[in-house]
Structure 1
Amino acid sequence: MTAYSPLSMVVRIFVPFAFGYFLSYLFRVINAVIAPDLIADLEMGPDVLGLLTASYFLTFAAFQLPLGVLLDKYGPRIVEASLLVFAAAGAALFAVAEDSTALIAARALIGFGVSACLMASFKAFTVFYEPGKLPLVNGFIMAAGGMGALAGTAPTQLVVAEIGWRGGFWALAGLTLVCAFLVYLLVPPTKRPEHKTTLSEQLSGVREVFTSRFFWQVAPVTMMSQASFVGIQSLWAGPWHQDVAGFNRAEVGSHLFWIAAAMVAGFLGLGALSERLGRYGIKTINIATVGLFCFMLVQLGIITEWAIDYPVIWIAFGFFGTTGILQYAVLSQHFPTHLAGRVNTAINLMVFISTFTLQSVSGQVINQWAPTASGGYAPEAYQAAFGLFLGLQAVAYVWFILSRYR
């Protein structure tokens, strides 16, 4: 592979993928801000709202295994640029949708279209960067996603106030097309496999990943922690601040902004910490073990409503919720480079299936309680839904610890 200067690596490799993941995360979290508008305009209940938001994760997850094969065979440049066109079409459809069915279809198309944004970057980084740099550079790309989460809070609130949620999605459709062109034009082509692999050979690589004992040590806790983090942050965090903490819409947007800012700090800080401590022989998996435990403690504070009096708990939620991404680097370092696309998409498949399931079920759980007098959701409903998230994480965490020491 041709050697590139540090500046060229940033401009041609990092920036295009960072822009794509920025948009992917913005699409992911935007419903937390526009949920009141969707409820008011289309009279959605929490069950429909949960399914609408989760539909992004369903198509995202469904395409992960084919995506891994495509990334390893055709490279991240072609795959991501092509899929982003579908994301742009989904955003345009969302902008003109008149009922929940059309909105669900549009969001599902968006999820399919951005399904390569993170995995394509991880694949490119395994090709262009040294293995020891992966936790750090993965942290930087995740921070770009965190900036998308930031943009999906107070800034989105301002945009929606000016041009409405439909106008905002038209703007997103245009930006997504621009990103597709940048990826195609700037990213260097990666080396194709030296021989044309058959579908059977490609699938054997998938089988190698899914039959790995190490993969199943890491996967369950990664699935549950990431699914809980994304499920809460991308939807329920906004309504919780309104219904339980009693904030108005401007205050909700401000608090979501700081949660997203903490997420950016987590991606950057934990990635840099892992890379630095790795020089002293401290493994990334050990840092993840501590961070995942802290994340569960933070959620306990939210469930017990300590977070009402101590909003810093939500900041900690944003910071420690990023810990699960360290496990991607753990897996990338464990498997050979030629399987990088398939191993990352394998864990991503598990994460997003879990996210779709938990976010859909959480909407059903919340719907078991009658709305409050103000039209919001009952505090007990949030406690039940978030308690479900935490319980599943605790079980997976115990498995993770026991399997490591066994």
Structure 2
Amino acid sequence: MTEHTKQSLHTARTSHFILVLAPILLAFSLSQFFRSAQALLAEPLRVELAITPEQLGLVSGSFHFAFALMQIPVGVMLDRYGPRVTNGFLMMATVVGVIIFASAHSVLGLMIGQAIIGLGCSAAFMAALVLAARWTSPEKFAAASGLIVSFSLLGVLASATPLAALVETHGWRTVYYGLAGLSTLAVMLDLLFVRDTPPGYQADDQKGETVFEALKGMVSVWKNRQVWLLSGVAFFSYPAILTVRGLWGGPYLHDVFGLSAVEVGNILLLMTIGMILGPPTYGQLSRKLPTKTHGLIVFAVLLGAATCLLQAFIGPWGTGIAAALMLLHGFLGSSATLSYAASRQAVPERQIGRALTTVNLATFAGLFVLQGLAGLIIGQFEDGAPDGYRWMFVFLGIGLGAAGISFWFGAKRKKS
């Protein structure tokens, strides 16, 4: 086979992979939108339904709680039934959840809608990573996963200024009814175009696993020390970013600086741009420095801690400073790509789905806990008081610092 023929086959396979991956990326982008939209919906919900900070934390956290609960079954389903069926089936629930959320007139209704949306979105990211693991070579997985995360963050991008403008002109309920239609489209495209493996791919057949064998495989993943270390980082790193970008960053900018919804959206847009640029940057660094992955993870987590602490003490000096720190946190703190790449390498191929979803479980458990605790911290102060947000950022900074230092020493001990 000539070099030209090999290159042609590689190009054809890449094009096929993009077509196969596109519906999953749409589902993942919607997932990113739904988990981030509360930062812009916070003010309309406070005005229309008189929601308190504690209740807002519960509404947003309902998505992450349901999402986290689904990660173990999703891992088994991905290894057993594949990304196409698993994601397509669960995304049907997303459509139902969005309609419930758009129709809700109470905190309980909002929580139920968010929980069902979280359940429905629970497989999208992991399905994309499993496809990448099967369609790309191991050394390219980190770069591919970084690009997947970056593309999906278009959903976060849409939940900034575009969402603010649409909510102002059409109302948040109308926007969500439209999103129900878009979620339906994602289900249809998944079932039509997604293929679990490339042509000629040889994989272990997981469909013959009994329930006991599936659970035994899950326990094997949980006993993996590397997976535990990565899960500890995952509990704090990305959740700290989304606690700001996905929920409390909007109220912080509105209450501390008196910004309008569109002005808030513009600053959150900056943070989202940082989140888009960070994952592929770390993915490329990991590919070029394969032995430095642990060091890159520690670097990202500790820098995230520093930006949170700086936001607490110098962020209120001006909107420009606050915006710059949010941009830095979104860019420098986005190390999730590295954690998923490392977990993919820590287990045999037949357990990839379960390893990835274990790390993802830690991520969304962290989101539920951090966003809820942040709401409790802010609720201890007068409504809109800057001190509430200051102590929230201190809390996030300390948590990130502890996670980064613990991972550093844990990884060093493993090498010794």
TM range (shorter): over 0.9
Please report how far the alpha carbon of residue 45 of structure 1 lies from its aligned counterpart in structure 2 after TM superposition.
0.5
What one-letter code is carried by the residue in structure 2 that aligns with 1:341?
A: G
Q: Partners in 2 of 1:105 and 1:80 — Cα distance?
A: 20
1:240 corresponds to 2:252: yes
Aligned to 2:361: 349
Q: Partners in 1 of 2:362 and 2:80 — Cα distance?
A: 22
Aligned to 1:202: 214
Which piece of structure 1 moves more, 122-131 or 53-62?
A: 122-131
Q: 1:34 to 1:194 in 2, by over 3 A?
A: closer
Residue in structure 1 matching 2:39, options 32, 42, 57: 32
For structure 1, the 5+ residue unaligned runs are 372-376
Contact 1:127 1:337 in 2 (8 A): no
Residue in structure 1 matching 2:73, options 66, 76, 88: 66
Please report how far the alpha carbon of residue 328 of structure 1 lies from its aligned counterpart in structure 2 after TM superposition.
0.8
Q: 1:194 to 1:247 in 2, by over 3 A?
A: closer
State how 1:162-181 maps to structure 2 within 5 Å: 162-181=169-188
Instruction: For residues 231-277 of structure 1, give each alpha carbon's deviation from its aligned partner in whole angstroms, at most 9, with x where no partner exists.
Output: 22100011111112332222111101111111101122222222233
1:76 corresponds to 2:83: yes
Q: Partners in 2 of 1:237 and 1:403 — Cα distance?
A: 32
Identical amino acids, percent of aligned pairs: 29
Please report how far the alpha carbon of residue 307 of structure 1 lies from its aligned counterpart in structure 2 after TM superposition.
6.0
Q: Partners in 2 of 1:399 and 1:285 — Cα distance?
A: 12
What one-letter code is carried by the residue in structure 1 that aligns with 2:342?
A: V
Contact 1:154 1:254 in 2 (8 A): yes
Instruction: For residues 31-69 of structure 1, give each alpha carbon's deviation from its aligned partner in whole angstroms, at most 9, with x where no partner exists.
Output: 111111111110101000110011000000001001100
What one-letter code is carried by the residue in structure 2 that aligns with 1:298?
A: T
Contact 1:307 1:313 in 2 (8 A): no
1:288 corresponds to 2:300: no
Instruction: For residues 62-111 of structure 1, give each alpha carbon's deviation from its aligned partner in whole angstroms, at most 9, with x where no partner exists.
Output: 01001100000000000001111100111111111111111110010000
Aligned to 2:352: 340
When normalised by structure 1's length, the TM-score is 0.94
Aligned to 1:374: none
State how 1:197-346 maps to structure 2 within 5 Å: 197-278=209-290, 282-306=291-315, 308-309=317-318, 310=321, 311-346=323-358
Residue in structure 2 matching 1:22, options 17, 25, 29: 29
Aligned to 2:374: 362
What one-letter code is carried by the residue in structure 1 that aligns with 2:301?
A: L
State how 1:35-114 maps to structure 2 within 5 Å: 35-114=42-121
Contact 2:282 2:337 in 1 (8 A): no
Please report how far the alpha carbon of residue 19 of structure 1 lies from its aligned counterpart in structure 2 after TM superposition.
1.0
Please report how far the alpha carbon of residue 194 of structure 1 lies from its aligned counterpart in structure 2 after TM superposition.
6.0
Residue in structure 2 matching 1:119, options 104, 123, 126: 126
What one-letter code is carried by the residue in structure 1 that aligns with 2:222?
A: F
Contact 2:301 2:403 in 1 (8 A): no
When normalised by structure 2's length, the TM-score is 0.92
Aligned to 1:5: 13
Aligned to 2:3: none
What one-letter code is carried by the residue in structure 1 that aligns with 2:17?
A: M
Please report how far the alpha carbon of residue 285 of structure 1 lies from its aligned counterpart in structure 2 after TM superposition.
2.4
1:144 corresponds to 2:147: no
Q: 1:218 to 1:41 in 2, by over 3 A?
A: same
Contact 1:33 1:156 in 2 (8 A): yes
Contact 2:301 2:401 in 1 (8 A): no
Contact 2:83 2:127 in 1 (8 A): yes
Q: Partners in 2 of 1:306 and 1:369 — Cα distance?
A: 19
- Secondary structure of the 2:195 match is coil
Q: Partners in 1 of 2:101 and 2:166 — Cα distance?
A: 16
Q: 1:229 to 1:194 in 2, by over 3 A?
A: closer
Please report how far the alpha carbon of residue 165 of structure 1 lies from its aligned counterpart in structure 2 after TM superposition.
0.2
For structure 2, the 5+ residue unaligned runs are 1-8, 198-202
Q: Partners in 1 of 2:235 and 2:388 — Cα distance?
A: 23
What one-letter code is carried by the residue in structure 2 that aligns with 1:217?
A: L
What one-letter code is carried by the residue in structure 2 that aligns with 1:286?
A: G
What one-letter code is carried by the residue in structure 2 that aligns with 1:193?
A: D
Q: Partners in 2 of 1:204 and 1:307 — Cα distance?
A: 51
Contact 1:147 1:261 in 2 (8 A): no
Pairs aligned (count):
396
Q: CA RMSD in A?
A: 1.7
Instruction: For residues 196-224 of structure 1, give each alpha carbon's deviation from its aligned partner in whole angstroms, at most 9, with x where no partner exists.
Output: 11111111111111111222222212211
What one-letter code is carried by the residue in structure 1 that aligns with 2:169?
A: E
